[in-house]
């Protein structure tokens, strides 16, 4: 008896001879030293439609799916031999939505896939690889052709990626806010909530809006992004808010009256836009006195506004 120590092709030869002749006879054979061998996938099934039973699936074939409301996939993969460790199946999806993972397969396996895994139209390639004794076996490749999905309603990951492209361009004026949101695709709409009970929208991409507040204060301004399906029902939404402080400046210098400017020996009446102001300020000898009188006049006017309420 002879024990081989490695896999491969071997040859055993026998030499026969007598006093006059010598002849050698050889036999070739393959030796497998492993105690666990690769097998193949079996009993593959998929449930591709709500209310329908699981249907048999074969490697190498393409299966059409009408935008699934349900998706389940499972089967068997068993290694051959008495020295097999735990068997695992690695799976990978390439297509409009990519995903991958690994599942145990000692007593059959089920992939953690659902309808959202195939919620965008297109061709998906599912690759299954079983492992025996840590070594990969021959892959099983299956194709799914998905049609009929709503082009706007996507899975949560795709929606989050689309939201990341949204940019707000805002500015504040006197009691007024200006906003313009950019980066929305054709499936999205935005509604502005101004924090005072008023809203603007829904609006499309790059639409500038203006809102006027009634008074100074802090307002919680939000934008709501929504995606509607073919039946105009919201299938995805996202809201973000921020606090802003709005200033409503109602004090106007044009409303001042009885303004006067003077030096040590003169007093001149003037208005905010009077050319006399420019002429007086050109006199360096009286600048100090002029500014003191002007400061007092403005302060007195501001005090009168506050008192009148």
At 196, which CATH number?
2.60.40.10
- 282 falls within a domain: yes
Q: Are residues 92 and 108 part of one domain?
A: yes
Q: Give yes or no for residue 131 having a pLDDT over 80.
A: yes
Q: Give yes or no for residue 301 having a pLDDT over 80.
A: no
- Of 78-92, 136-150, 263-277, the one with minimum mean pLDDT is 263-277
Q: What is the total count of domains within the chain? A: 3
Q: Are residues 143 and 47 part of one domain?
A: yes
Please, which residues have CB within 8 angstroms of residue 20's CB and are 6 or more apart in sequence? Answer: none
Question: Residue 166 to residues 60, 150, 180, 208, 225: CA-CA distances in angstroms?
Answer: 41, 22, 10, 14, 9
Q: Residue 115 in 3-state DSSP?
A: helix
Name the residue with tokens 């502005």: 192
Tens of pLDDT, residue by residue over 164-174, are 888 988 899 99
Tens of pLDDT, residue by residue over 31-53, are 666 678 888 999 999 998 888 88
Distance CA 232, CA 54 (A): 32
Name the residue with tokens 């070594």: 135
Which parts of the chain fold into alpha helices (H)?
156-163, 275-281, 287-308
Q: How many CB atoms lie within 10 A of CB 120?
A: 19
Indicate the Cα dihedral angle 97, 98, 100, 106, nearest 10°.
50
Last residue of a domain, one of 122, 147, 172: 147
Work out the pLDDT band at 238, boundaries 50, 70, 90: very high
Work out the pLDDT band at 305, boundaries 50, 70, 90: very low
Closest CA to 71 of 88, 106, 104, 46: 46
**Burial bucket for residue 174 (CB in 10 Å: 0-12, 13-18, 19+):** exposed
Considering all CA atoms of the chain, what is the largest pairwise distance in Å, rounded to the nearest integer? 154
Q: Give yes or no for residue 219 having a pLDDT over 60.
A: yes
**What is the per-residue pLDDT for 299?**
36
- 276 falls within a domain: yes
Q: What percent of the chain has pLDDT over 90?
A: 40
Q: Give the torsion sign (CA, 269, 272, 274, 279).
A: positive
Q: Which two tokens stand for residue 286?
A: 């009286």
**What is the per-residue pLDDT for 125?**
98
Q: What percent of the chain has pLDDT over 70?
A: 76
Distance CA 167, CA 147 (A): 32
Name the residue with tokens 């208005």: 271
Closest CA to 64 of 145, 119, 122, 123: 145
Distance CA 25, CA 275 (A): 126
- 19 falls within a domain: no
The gap from C-alpha 148 to its chain's centroid, in whole angstroms, comes to 23
Q: Are residues 110 and 55 part of one domain?
A: yes
**What is the per-residue pLDDT for 30?**
72
Work out the pLDDT band at 289, boundaries 50, 70, 90: very low
**What is the per-residue pLDDT for 292?**
37
Q: Are residues 54 and 138 part of one domain?
A: yes
- Mean pLDDT of the region 75-85: 84
- 274 falls within a domain: yes
Work out the pLDDT band at 70, boundaries 50, 70, 90: confident
pTM of the model: 0.48
- Mean pLDDT of the region 274-291: 51
Q: Residue 270 in 3-state DSSP?
A: coil
Q: Are residues 269 and 184 part of one domain?
A: no
- Mean pLDDT of the region 75-81: 89
Q: Which two tokens stand for residue 222?
A: 């939000």
Last residue of a domain, one of 126, 147, 168: 147
- 20 falls within a domain: no
Q: How many CB atoms lie within 10 A of CB 87?
A: 21
Say if residues 65 and 104 touch (Cβ distance below 8 Å): no
- Mean pLDDT of the region 223-240: 87
Closest CA to 171 of 209, 204, 199: 209
**What is the per-residue pLDDT for 162?**
81
Q: Are residues 133 and 45 part of one domain?
A: yes
Distance CA 253, CA 261 (A): 16
Q: Residue 152 in 3-state DSSP?
A: coil
Q: 145 vs 295, which has greater pLDDT?
A: 145
- 52 falls within a domain: yes
Structural domain that includes position 263: 253-308
Last residue of a domain, one of 147, 180, 206: 147
**What is the per-residue pLDDT for 1?**
60
Q: Are residues 136 and 52 part of one domain?
A: yes
- 31 falls within a domain: no
């Amino acid at each position: 008896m002879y024990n081989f120590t490695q896999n491969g092709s071997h040859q055993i030869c026998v030499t026969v001879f007598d006093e006059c002749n010598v002849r050698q006879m050889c036999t070739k054979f393959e030796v497998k030293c492993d105690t666990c061998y690769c097998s193949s996938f079996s009993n593959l099934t998929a449930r591709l439609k709500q209310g329908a039973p699981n249907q048999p699936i074969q490697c190498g074939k393409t299966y059409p799916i009408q935008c699934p409301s349900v998706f389940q996939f499972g089967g068997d993969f068993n290694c051959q031999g008495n020295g097999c460790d735990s068997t695992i199946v690695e799976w990978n999806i390439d297509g409009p939505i990519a995903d991958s993972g690994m599942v145990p397969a000692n007593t059959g396996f089920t992939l953690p896939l659902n309808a959202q895994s195939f919620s965008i139209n297109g061709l998906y390639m599912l690759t299954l690889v079983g492992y025996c004794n840590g070594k990969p076996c021959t892959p099983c490749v299956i194709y799914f052709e998905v049609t009929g999905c709503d082009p706007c309603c996507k899975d949560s990951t795709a929606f989050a990626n689309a939201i990341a492209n949204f940019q707000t361009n805002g500015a504040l004026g006197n009691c007024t806010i200006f906003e313009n949101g950019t980066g929305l695709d054709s499936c999205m709409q935005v509604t502005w909530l101004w924090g005072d009970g008023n809203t603007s929208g829904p609006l499309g991409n790059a639409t500038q809006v203006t809102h006027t507040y009634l008074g100074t204060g802090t307002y919680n301004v939000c934008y709501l992004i929504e995606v509607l399906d073919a039946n105009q029902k919201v299938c995805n939404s996202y809201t973000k808010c921020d606090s802003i402080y709005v200033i409503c400046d109602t004090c106007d210098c044009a409303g001042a009256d009885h303004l006067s400017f003077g030096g040590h020996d003169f007093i001149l009446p003037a208005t905010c836009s009077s050319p006399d102001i420019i002429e007086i300020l050109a006199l360096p000898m009286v600048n100090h006195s002029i500014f003191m009188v002007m400061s007092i006049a403005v302060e007195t006017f501001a005090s009168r506004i506050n008192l009148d309420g």
